[in-house]
Amino acid sequence: MSYKNLLFAFFISLLIFDNSPLSGQDSIPLDFCINREELKLFNEINNYRKVMNLPEISLSKSLCFVAKQHVIDLVTNKPDTNTCNFHSWSNKGTWEACCYERDIKDKKCMSSKPSELTTYPGMGYEIVYWENRNVMANTVFEQWRETKASKSVILNMNEWEEYSWQSIGIAIKDGFASTWFGEEIESAMEIHICNSTETYKIEPAKEAVDSLIISTAKDRYYLIYGVFTEMEDAKKAVALYQAEGFKNTKIIVKDDKIRISLSDHSTNDGAHNAKKMLPTKYKDAWVMTY
C-alpha cells in the first residue's frame, strides 16, 4: 500500500519546559519498558546522526515515559479534536489537560508535562508521527528523514542549530510515534525491554570526537576563543568550556592553527549577538568566518 492510500499526518512543535521542577513523580513505575521497535527507532536516529558526523544522543527513561504516556493518551482519549492538534493532552490522566493549537501562544499547559510525570530536569522538544495503521520504526524514521521540519530537529539544523541534544525519549503505539529531545543528561540507569528479561543499560552518550573537529569550510561564523598548537591541548580546552556551559564548542583547524569555537552561527549578526551575551571573562572572543 502506498503512502497516498494512507491517512497520514505529521506534526512538530517546540515545547519550552521550565528548568524548575514542579510536582514530578518520585519514580517511574517499576514495570515500565520500551519495546524493540522503539529501541530500533532510537538506533535509527543515532545511526543517522553518526553518518552526518553528529554525536549520538543518550536514551532517557524519563523522556521515554513521557512519550509513552502521550501516545497512550492520543490513542485512548483522542485529545486532538477541532483545533487541538496531536500535541494536546486530555483531561483523563494525572497531568493538566491541554489543547495545543497551531498558533498557541501560552505553552504552559504543555511545558509542565515532563515535571508532572517525571523528574527530568531540562527543556524538551517533540516530534510526532501518525498514520492510520500500526507503524514500524523504519517507516517513521524514513518519513522523518524526508520531512524538512523533523530532519532539522534530528540533525540540529536551521532553527535547531543552537541546541545540543543529550537525551531522547521514544514511544510507538497504534499508528502514533512520539520522540522527545532534551539538552540535559540523566543519571545512568537501566530500562527494561518489553516481553523479555533483557534490559538496556542507559549511559550518557559519548561525544563523537570527529564531530568536534572542523577542517573544511562550512560557510559559518564561529565565535573563537583560544588558539592552540597541539590537538590534545585543544581537546582539554573543549572539555573545560563545555563544563562551563558552552555545549556547542568545536575545534576549528585552519591555516595550520587549531582554534576553539564557543559557538557557531549561520549569520554574522547571529555570531556578534552571541558575543555580546558572553560572560566578561570571554570578552576577547572574536568572530571568524569559515
97-107 pLDDT tens trace: 989 887 776 66
Given this model, what pLDDT does residue 19 score? 35
The answer to whether residue 202 scores a pLDDT higher than 90 is no
Residue 263 lies in a domain: yes
Measured CA to CA, the distance from residue 19 to residue 88 in angstroms comes to 21
Residue 2 lies in a domain: no
- Residue 191 and residue 98 in one domain: yes
What is the DSSP pairing of strand 189-193 with strand 33-34? parallel
- Residue 168 and residue 236 in one domain: no
- Residue 80 and residue 160 in one domain: yes
CB 55 within 8 A of CB 207: yes
77-123 pLDDT tens trace: 999 988 898 888 899 998 889 898 877 766 676 767 888 899 988 87
- Residue 58 and residue 190 in one domain: yes
Measured CA to CA, the distance from residue 83 to residue 243 in angstroms comes to 43
- Residue 153 and residue 237 in one domain: no
Nearest CA-CA partner of 223 in 249, 243, 244, 247: 249
- Residue 82 and residue 181 in one domain: yes
Measured CA to CA, the distance from residue 175 to residue 35 in angstroms comes to 15
Given this model, what pLDDT does residue 22 score? 37
Confidence band for 71, pLDDT divided at 50, 70 and 90 = very high
Counting the structural domains of the chain, the total is 2
Measured CA to CA, the distance from residue 181 to residue 163 in angstroms comes to 10
For 122, phi then psi, to 5°, come to -115, -160
Mean pLDDT, rounded, for 260-288: 93
User: Residue 152: which CATH number?
Assistant: 3.40.33.10
- Residue 45 and residue 167 in one domain: yes
Mean pLDDT, rounded, for 135-158: 94
Given this model, what pLDDT does residue 18 score? 36
Buried b (16+ CB within 10 A) or exposed e, 119-153: ebbbbbbbbbbbbeeebebebbbebbeebeebbbb
- Residue 67 and residue 190 in one domain: yes
Domain span at residue 72 reads 33-201
- Residue 132 and residue 216 in one domain: no
- Residue 150 and residue 284 in one domain: no
Q: Residue 177 has which C-alpha cell?
A: 510515534
Give the domain-ending residue among 180, 201, 222.
201
